[in-house]
Amino acid sequence: MTVSLSTVEDKTRATIGVRLFTVLAWVPERRALRRVHSSHPVEYPVGGEKTVEVAAGWLDRCITGQEPYFGPDSAAVREIFADHELIDSLGCGAVINVPVVDEGRTLGVLNLLDAEGHYDDDSVAMARSLAPLAVPALRELLEETR
């Protein structure tokens, strides 16, 4: 049985804590990220897509380099996200983006956001350890949309 993305969210909430949790699937043909799960579907609806106009280096780091991005404060969030005002309105001022990797291929990214100062290097390590739980669900979603 495939672990659902809701289960990944629940485990993340229980172990690390999160105010806003989204999962983005990587669509390499379009160099786009498509939202496939959201804890806040009104503000961040599933199906929303962005061709990555994120800060320089984010794509290279998370998607190509398969390394997490950690933004510990509001300044880091502002630097990376065009929608930082909405993020701030939800009480979020810290972010962890963790790539979900399957056999060397980046399937997507887990996005954890919470209050400024809530996350540290241990939080990043825990988030990284949870990312593999999302592999089966993301693999299935990406196969369905091909």
* Domains of the chain: residue spans and CATH: 5-144 (3.30.450.40)
Per-residue pLDDT tens digits for 91-121: 999 999 999 999 999 999 999 999 999 999 9
- Choice between 60 and 145, residue whose per-residue pLDDT is larger: 60
DSSP code of residue 59? H
Per-residue pLDDT tens digits for 6-64: 999 999 999 999 999 999 999 888 888 899 999 999 999 999 887 755 566 888 889 99
Q: Return the percent helix, strand and coil in the chain, to nearest 5.
A: 40, 25, 35
3-state class of 73 per DSSP? coil
3-state class of 61 per DSSP? helix
pTM: 0.93
